[in-house]
A = this chain, B = another copy of it.
């Protein structure tokens, strides 16, 4: 489908095709990033590009820990932080560390499709549960799925592809459920929270952290979205300070960061993000884009949940066959991704992390498709 999109761009000119298929923000990193980069380049500390400990620079880990402590209300030290090659690297390191062959990892559809590969990479088995109402996982379904093979549950909020942000009461109940399940099954079940979009959150919402609600928890995240550094592969793992066997777990994470061939998170980016833990791209701009797209699409008759974060919309496909609809929309020069790519047929994903002109240009195509498929 990507190739078909490329052909369309060739035929009609890239400027006439609204490509909303990729989660690759056009946003530039914030001014503070450029300032800090200039400062480092003009006064480079000796050895700035050398290997460091596999966990990352102590100063960077300490800066991450300090910011987490400020935000999450519990106290972290650098010993609970491992710097990684992005959130993708982080998640692979965590899974390699905690999984035994055949262990199950619960994920929720719609899911970020790479989860399936990451789990398989390390001998795990993905147990996919359909999310319920408004794309929130059902606690009953989770309770029914926990078993002797369950090693971890992965959540992703704000969510790719739905943009949905889980509420604190949901996380609280999930924590209780996993606590009881671990006790009943006699094995520690990890809650792995993929927070790649944590800072991209709207309407003045305060991010509901998992930390107060479950101790056997690990966060994976990156600065790909909050600092617009997706190509630089810089992220981290944070482990709950009161996690069982925390020291062994962190030693395992550091070991796996090494033996998986990541070795360490890129050095220069570690120097940079140390100073930028409290900095974020312009969220108001993303919120404006969300509002613009949500209002217009809802007005055309598309059925969709208004998301609280990330930069995706996940409307119901006007055709039962989401691939056929996405193909139809392509003919109107708008590129999106079918929901079945995220384990949820009957929907499609819009990535609105593009410039306003592209969003405006997409409306005509969405309108024609709405008419063609009789939405209004």
Chain B residues with CB under 8 Å of A92's CB are 260-261
Point out the residues of chain B lying under 8 angstroms from A41, CB to CB: 34, 37-38, 41
CB neighbours (8 Å) of A228 from chain B are 49-50
- Interchain nearest-CB distance for A26 vs B (Å): 7
Q: Which residues between 94 and 133 of chain A lie within 8 Å of chain B, taking CB atoms? A: 96, 114, 117-118, 121
Confirm or deny: A368 has a beta carbon within 8 angstroms of a beta carbon on chain B. Answer: no
**A233 — nearest CB in chain B belongs to which residue?**
B266
Interface flags for A82-93 (1: CB within 8 Å of B; 0: not) read 000110110110
A92 CA to B118 CA in the complex, in Å? 14
**Min CB distance, A219 to chain B, in Å?**
16
Q: Which of B25, B46, B49, B263 contacts A86 (CB 8 A)?
A: B263
Q: How many angstroms between the C-alpha atoms of A121 and B265 in the bound complex?
A: 19
Residue of B nearest to A268 (CB): B232
Given contacts A92-B261, A261-B118, A263-B88, contact A231 B51 (CB under 8 A): yes
Not counting A88-B263, A233-B264, a sample of 9 additional A-B residue pairs whose C-beta atoms are within 8 angstroms of each other reads: A24-B51, A25-B50, A28-B47, A51-B230, A52-B231, A86-B261, A121-B260, A233-B233, A266-B266
| B47-A29 in contact (CB<8A) | no
Q: Closest Cβ of chain B: how far from A315's Cβ, in Å?
A: 24
Residues of A at the B interface (CB closer than 8 Å) are 22, 24-26, 28-29, 34, 37-38, 41-42, 44, 46-52, 85-86, 88-89, 91-92, 96, 114, 117-118, 121, 228-233, 258-269
- Asked if B50 contacts A233 (CB within 8 A), the reply is no
The answer to whether B121 and A259 have CB atoms under 8 Å apart is: yes
Establish whether residues A28 and B51, one from each chain, have CB atoms under 8 Å apart when the complex forms.
no
Q: Using known A-B contacts A262-B233, A264-B233, determine if residue A44 contacts B50 with beta carbons closer than 8 Å.
A: no
- Between-chain CB contacts (< 8 Å), 8 pairs: A26-B50, A28-B47, A50-B231, A51-B230, A114-B259, A231-B264, A232-B266, A233-B263
Cross-chain contact of A233 among B22, B85, B117 (Cβ < 8 A): B85
